[in-house]
Amino acid sequence: MPRRVIAPNGGSCYIVFMMKITDFDANHIEEAHRLALMGYNAEKAVVDGLPEIRGIPGLEWFAKNGKGVAAFENGAMLGYLCAYGPFDNPFACNPNAKGVWSPAQGNSAVNRNKARIYAEMYRSIAEKWFAQAATVHSITLYAHDEAAVKAFFGYGFGLRCIDAIKPIETRSAACPRGVTLMEIPREEAWRVTALNNALIEHLGKSPCFMRFAARTPETVQDEAALNDVRYFIAQKHDGIIAYLKAGGEGEHFVCQSPDIANLCGAYLLPEHKGKGIFDALLQYAENTLAEEGFKRLGVDFESFNPTAYGFWQKHFAAYTYSVVRRTDEHSEA
């Protein structure tokens, strides 16, 4: 839309917002870094659990892979939108589908006319994504960037994943009588297999409809060994009634900070809900991690999982929203 300004003679005049979209390349990295850092710091001003950072990783990769665009006005960068992919079977939704993902550092835009900037960049790059058979488009935005989130909802995207963070705090982990909290040795990870499968069953039902194959004690044990996974458990009468899984790297680049521990799974048997057991287990894990020098705890979860959404939002502050659109996959009208 043209922008109305006051002319020197006191009358009105209009300046047309002129935008040029071009392929993202190495010449754009410095300006993109500035925009990305600006976006991150704006989110950090709202979510004080986020760490201070000086650099934004990964922009060189986007300059090489040809899956991104940048927007300019009079030679000044207005924004950029880049992605990883295409990759097969995104979100395990369809073996025949391909998807792309723009992480938080893969996109940013100035605040002025942000919705239109994102609209033009997405229209340009989505055509290329679709031409490469990528029909699932996922973009991670900062949760408090209301202009960007609202814009993509208007483009047909819906919320799917949330990254959240909290400072680690130490206090007593009060637990109901008869329940014991502990971290099990890594070589005993197989003991949580039944609860792993209970979580898989839960995710497969409405409203999540996320279908995964059942796990065996061997696959659980192998994952713990290969990915440095840790299990904190709540136990009653020698049976495990809840677990909290930590380890690996989160999807946002701040999760790679050495003082952040990442949670990647959790489950509590339904008959034990409402007793404060999982609050106590989370606190026990925080106390343990604090002794090891960790300062922050991160988690990512699906927004359409009501159990996870309610629990994690109670304890953690959301800082990214990953929005997803799935285009028509038919090749002919």
User: pLDDT per residue over 115-164, tens digit each?
Assistant: 999 999 999 999 999 999 899 999 999 999 999 999 999 999 999 999 99
- Answer whether residue 333 shows pLDDT above 60: no
Q: Which domains does the chain carry?
A: 3-164 (3.40.630.30), 169-294 (3.40.630.30)
Phi-psi region of 58 (alpha: psi -120 to 50; beta: other; left: phi over 0): left
pLDDT confidence band for 91 (50 / 70 / 90): confident
The pLDDT assigned to 8 comes to 43
pTM for this entry: 0.89
Asked if 239 and 198 touch (Cβ cutoff 8 Å), the reply is: no
Strand pairing of 98-102 and 84-88?
Answer: antiparallel
pLDDT confidence band for 23 (50 / 70 / 90): very high
Percent of the chain whose pLDDT exceeds 90: 75
- Answer whether residue 3 shows pLDDT above 60: no
pLDDT confidence band for 181 (50 / 70 / 90): very high
Asked if 220 and 196 touch (Cβ cutoff 8 Å), the reply is: yes
Asked if 187 and 204 touch (Cβ cutoff 8 Å), the reply is: no
